[in-house]
């Protein structure tokens, strides 16, 4: 088989942008209200409705949202938060920002999500929060996780950075745990460049996070400056600068309106990949969806059967890049990063399932703006590499 080669580079995670977003941003720029204002309020209202949550708060990143969530739940020095090692480092970093200790529980080898049985093993008198990550958009086993949390009187904060469209047993992700956090980073299914959303059904948590999201002030900027009379405000807590701008929300409003339509296209591309790669024995494919759940299909990742190949995962990714196919690694386990190794003494083989996946995972281009030809170019490149480097 001749080596395939695209003429142009296929960008991994390129956002889908329409004329509606551009027009809305121009309208916002002309309005003079660039900060947190009416467009953000509109976006929050629409997202709360979409997520089936009572409250939604726009923030400038999912990382900021996770930090606010943990603070609202009173996480601090001496506390422990249980999470997965197979995630982006920000999930664990925010635990440290609160002065607490991250405790990792290994993942399930089939779903790649945190294993509830492993969570149960890690609970101590210091545990305060369970922080599951819906990896790649696949919902975690929330029934089991919520049951564990209730038995041990723990809070649940869901990292749904990948999971805007996800549904678990007919319940929308965003309406199950105590607090859920979404990402609108440029590569996400809903993209605003940078940004995020926090949802909750608790008025107390919602109000606390809103105050903390803008310097700890008693009135946010929109309420302070858009009224016709002066309104005094006070700093009621030393908060943060985590608010979402109206420029970002102008994009988000239309990204959200289009997200389900885009999901259908992503699902079609996903199924094309699955059908093509089933006949490639050097690859392991994502598990099927559980009954009554909906995978957000944010990332399509394969695992390389390294025992059948003469190439490492990193070299495989490099070869794809040379063939003009963008790809990514989601993720290298957090406990093996330098800071976590040196600070907490983590070593290889401590979380074998996460490490197995982390050594083999390759994320392939998946997006509503991709053409069928793009998907077939990816299939051709991956299949050729697997055949060329098989043992």
Residue 2 scores a pLDDT above 90: no
247 and 265 assigned to the same domain: no
Q: Residue 349, exposed/middle/buried by CB under 10 A (0-12, 13-18, 19+)?
A: exposed
Could you tell me if residue 1 is inside a domain? no
Is 378 contained in some domain?
yes
Residue 68 has what pLDDT? 98
In the predicted model, what is the mean pLDDT of residues 78-93?
A: 98
Residues pairing with 56 in the sheet: 199
Specify the pLDDT at position 51.
Answer: 98
Is residue 347 within 8 A of residue 250, CB to CB? The reply is no
Residue ending a domain, among 255, 275, 291, is 255
C-alpha–C-alpha distance, residues 361 and 330, integer Å = 7
Look up the CATH number of the domain holding residue 328: 3.90.1150.10
CA dihedral 140, 143, 144, 148 (to 10 degrees): 120
Establish if 173 belongs to a structural domain: yes
Residue in 184, 181, 223, 185 with CA at minimum distance from that of residue 73: 181
For residues 251 and 263, state if they share a domain.
Answer: no
**353 CB neighbour count, 10 Å cutoff:** 18
Beta bridge partners of 81: 102, 129
Shared-domain flag, residues 147 and 242? yes
312 and 371 inside one domain: yes
Last residue of a domain, one of 255, 278, 304: 255
pLDDT digits (tens, 9 = 90+) for 239-256: 999 999 999 999 999 999
Note the pLDDT tens digit of each residue in 170-207. Answer: 999 999 999 999 999 999 999 999 999 999 999 999 99
Answer yes or no: do 66 and 105 share one domain. yes
Residue 188 annotated among the catalytic residues of the structure: yes
Q: Is residue 177 part of a domain?
A: yes
Q: Which of 202, 233, 255 is the last residue of a domain?
A: 255
311 and 334 in a single domain? The answer is yes
Evaluate whether 323 touches 75 at the Cβ level (below 8 Å): no
Q: Can you point out the beta strands (E) in 233-326? A: 283-284, 300-304
Answer whether residue 9 is part of any domain. Answer: no
pTM, whole model, 2 decimals? Answer: 0.97
Per-residue pLDDT band for 304 (boundaries 50, 70, 90) equals very high
**Does 43 share its domain with 152?**
yes
H or E segment at 373? helix 372-388
- Shared domain for 250 and 264, answered yes or no, is no
Cα–Cα distance list, 302 to 10, 126, 325 (Å): 18, 37, 15
> Looking at the domain assignment, is residue 3 inside a domain?
no
Query: Considering the domain boundaries, does residue 75 fall inside one?
Result: yes
In a domain, 265, yes or no: yes
How many other β-carbons are positioned within 10 Å of the β-carbon of residue 335?
A: 22
- Distance CA(303)–CA(287), nearest Å, equals 11
Residue 223 has pLDDT above 70, yes or no: no
CATH of residue 142's domain is 3.40.640.10
Domain count, the chain: 2
Indicate which residue of 39, 172, 188, 294 is catalytic. 188
| E strand spans, the chain | 55-59, 80-83, 101-104, 127-131, 155-159, 167-168, 171-172, 179-183, 196-200, 283-284, 300-304, 361-364
Same domain membership, residue 249 and residue 309: no
Residues 158 and 251 in one domain: yes
User: Could you report the per-residue pLDDT of 31-84, keeping only the tens digit for each?
Assistant: 998 999 999 999 999 999 999 999 999 999 999 999 999 999 999 999 999 999
Beta pairing, strands 179-183 & 196-200: antiparallel
Task: Give the per-residue pLDDT at 361.
Answer: 98
Cα–Cα distance for residue pair 228/37, rounded to 1 Å = 15
* Secondary structure letter of residue 336 according to DSSP: G
Residues 170 and 276 in one domain: no
- 144 lies in the same domain as 193: yes
Dihedral of alpha carbons 88, 93, 98, 104, sign: positive
Full residue range of the structural domain in which residue 272 is found: 259-388
């Amino acid at each position: 088989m001749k080596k395939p080669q695209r003429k142009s580079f296929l960008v991994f995670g390129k956002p889908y942008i329409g004329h509606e977003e551009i027009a809305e941003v121009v309208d916002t720029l002309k309005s003079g209200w660039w900060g947190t204002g009416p467009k953000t309020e509109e976006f929050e209202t629409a997202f709360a409705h979409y997520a089936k949550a009572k409250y939604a708060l726009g923030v400038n990143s999912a990382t900021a949202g996770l930090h606010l969530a943990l603070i609202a739940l009173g996480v601090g020095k001496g506390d422990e938060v249980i999470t997965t090692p197979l995630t982006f480092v920000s999930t664990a970093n925010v635990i440290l920002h609160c002065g607490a200790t991250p405790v990792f529980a290994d993942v399930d080898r089939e779903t790649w999500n945190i294993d509830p049985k492993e969570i149960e093993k890690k609970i101590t008198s210091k545990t305060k929060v369970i922080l599951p990550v819906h990896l790649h958009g696949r919902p975690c086993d929330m029934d089991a996780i919520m049951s564990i949390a209730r038995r041990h009187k723990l809070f649940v904060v869901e990292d749904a950075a990948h999971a805007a469209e996800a549904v678990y047993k007919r319940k929308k992700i965003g309406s199950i745990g105590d607090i859920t956090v979404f990402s609108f980073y440029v590569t996400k299914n809903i993209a605003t460049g940078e940004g995020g959303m926090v949802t909750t059904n608790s008025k107390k948590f919602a109000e606390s996070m809103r105050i903390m999201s803008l310097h700890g002030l008693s009135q946010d900027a929109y309420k302070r400056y858009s009224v016709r009379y002066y309104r005094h405000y006070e700093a009621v807590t030393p908060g943060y600068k985590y608010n979402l701008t109206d420029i970002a929300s102008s994009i988000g409003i239309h990204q959200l309106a289009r997200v389900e339509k885009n999901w259908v296209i992503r699902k079609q591309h996903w199924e094309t990949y699955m059908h093509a790669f089933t006949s490639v024995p050097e690859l392991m494919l994502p598990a099927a969806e559980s009954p009554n759940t909906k995978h957000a299909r944010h990332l399509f990742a394969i695992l390389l059967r390294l025992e059948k190949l003469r190439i490492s995962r990193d070299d495989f990714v490099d070869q794809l890049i040379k063939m003009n196919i963008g790809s990514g690694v989601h993720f290298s386990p957090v406990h093996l990063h330098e800071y976590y190794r040196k600070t907490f003494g983590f070593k290889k083989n401590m979380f074998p399932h996460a490490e197995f996946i982390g050594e083999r995972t390759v994320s392939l281009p998946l997006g509503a703006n991709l053409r069928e030809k793009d998907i077939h170019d990816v299939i051709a490149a991956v299949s050729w590499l697997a055949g060329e480097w098989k043992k």
